Structure 1
Amino acid sequence: MLDRNSKTPLYQQLKITLLKYIEENLNEGDSLPIESEIEKMYGVSRITVRKTIEDLEKDGIVMKHQGRGTFVQSKKIIQDAGTITSWTEEMKSKGKTIETINLHISEIEPSRKLIGELKLDKGEKIICLRRIRCADGEPIAIMVNYIRSKYVPGFLEKGLTKESLYEELEVDYQIQLESARERIQARIATDLEAVELHIPPYSAVLHITRTSFLPDGTPFEVVEMTNRSDRYQYDIHLNGRNKYKS
């Protein structure tokens, strides 16, 4: 049953619960219980059920067919690419239990590419943070963050103390990322990536490169993230076209 004393709205609690139910019990194309059954299962109103189903449909998880029912459309984790959110925040919002494994932190000499991307000063070093991110016990992404050492004094010695790097930057260093640029590329996993992500050799992966900027426009971080394409999907919202000018 859902917790009516919780500050989290019932429809959000129900969404997390249904996501877990779908993950553990259903496959793509399977139908969800009808609305009246969900009402009885979780002791909620029809309005709450409909609000939850609408949210799941917006996320691309289910699709309603008039007169037939609601069906699982995708079990992929969908990332909204329109805002700067941490991987941790995104997974928690979808009801996932998150875990980080194989964490390694070091200070390195930047490559020529990183010097250009981050506009580094001569002799400036960067911190490399490499880890595998898991959702519900399953490896989903390999994440490598390159951040400018001079902005995070003591980070190398202290290490990552929170699950979310962005939360740590905001709380401990008062660093707020203002904007970011992302590039998304489909490619074949390397042998090491296939082993670490528990996928067959030569599987397709989504490789995302993000450069994040401080409020004054200074490039602060480059992230290289390799995601399982069978478990991860990007959702990008586009604005309308500019008017055609002859």
Structure 2
Amino acid sequence: MGADHAYQRLASRLIRELTGGLWRNGDPLPSEHALASAYAVSRRTVRQALELLQREGFVSKGQGRSTVYRERAIGRSGEKLVDFPTAAREAGFRPSTRLISTGHVEAGLSIAHALCVPLGSEVFEIRRVRLLEGRPVVHQTSLLPARLAGKLDVATLADTSLYTMLRAALGGEIFLAREHVSLLSASEEEAAALSIPKASPLLRVQRVVVDGEGRAVEYSNSALQDSFFRF
């Protein structure tokens, strides 16, 4: 990457620092002069980097000429099960979804365990990329019991929440039964879907969703770019 992209490199470094969990909404950043000195770049590079961060919603102008951190991250919903579009809009983002594929697959060990179905039985798979402000940030695979596949309007999955579809299909509420968060390196497929280098660090979030009788209705396996999420 040439010198003309120095501000993009600096912006990436600043995003990693600002989204590391210690910064709170409204915390002031150091001055342009201090940032330029600390990162050994010109003030023009700092200014360009801060403009990029402001366009992406990570910072805003505070009182006077100061730049402050603007927390925009999707957090855990606790006991309440909130779909991605709703959580994204509540955090101030413009969400969208790109549907990759749908179809029936055989349940492997983890899928069979999560959905409480026999190993090798047929389940319905939905693969999507979730975007914020047009930027791909989540590669998501959802697996459902085969019996539910015919009750879903899969053609509208790019525009309609899967949770909304499940509630309608089941005629009742659904609940988060289990959630596991871990670290992973992006696979070739995940890297391509998220437009990042292979083996980039990501968060893996695995969820099991159940109906009112405690029966598993969805197992999701999501790879997330952590700068947009809080866990």
Q: Is the 8 A contact 2:174 2:212 kept in 1?
A: yes
Q: TM-score, normalization: structure 1?
A: 0.62
- TM-align CA RMSD: 3.1
Q: Is 1:203 the equivalent of 2:200?
A: yes
Q: Is the 8 A contact 2:208 2:219 kept in 1?
A: yes
Q: Of residues 148, 152, 156 in structure 1, which corresponds to 2:145?
A: 148
For the structure 1 residues 26 and 125, does the alpha-carbon distance in structure 2 shift closer, same or farther, using more than 3 Å as the test? closer
Q: Is 1:213 the equivalent of 2:210?
A: yes
Q: Of residues 74, 77, 87 in structure 2, which corresponds to 1:78?
A: 74
* Helix, strand or coil at the partner of 1:85: coil
Q: TM-score, normalization: structure 2?
A: 0.66
Within 2, Cα distance between the matches of 1:211 and 1:148? Answer: 12
Within 2, Cα distance between the matches of 1:154 and 1:138? Answer: 30
Of all paired residues, the percent bearing the same amino acid is: 19
Q: Is 1:179 the equivalent of 2:140?
A: no
Q: Of residues 138, 147, 153 in structure 1, which corresponds to 2:135?
A: 138
Q: Residue 129 of structure 1: CA displacement?
A: 0.3
Counterpart of 2:62 in structure 1 is 33
Q: Which runs of no fewer than 5 residues in structure 2 stay unpaired? A: 1-50
Q: Residue 189 of structure 1: CA displacement?
A: 1.0
1:116-147: CA deviations, max 9, x gaps?
22111587521100011111110010011101
Q: Is the 8 A contact 1:106 1:156 kept in 2?
A: no
Within 2, Cα distance between the matches of 1:136 and 1:161? Answer: 15
Within 1, Cα distance between the matches of 2:57 and 2:84? Answer: 25
Counterpart of 1:168 in structure 2 is 165
Q: Residue 191 of structure 1: CA displacement?
A: 2.3
Q: Residue 89 of structure 1: CA displacement?
A: 1.1
Within 1, Cα distance between the matches of 2:196 and 2:222? Answer: 16
For the structure 1 residues 174 and 103, does the alpha-carbon distance in structure 2 shift closer, same or farther, using more than 3 Å as the test? farther
Q: Is the 8 A contact 2:97 2:159 kept in 1?
A: no
Q: Of residues 185, 189, 205 in structure 2, which corresponds to 1:192?
A: 189
Q: Residue 24 of structure 1: CA displacement?
A: 4.3
1:165-212: CA deviations, max 9, x gaps?
111222344242123211101121112212211123331100011011
Within 2, Cα distance between the matches of 1:74 and 1:128? Answer: 34
Q: Is 1:103 the equivalent of 2:82?
A: no
Q: Is the 8 A contact 2:138 2:224 kept in 1?
A: yes
Letter of the structure 2 residue corresponding to residue 33 of structure 1: G
For the structure 1 residues 120 and 81, does the alpha-carbon distance in structure 2 shift closer, same or farther, using more than 3 Å as the test? same
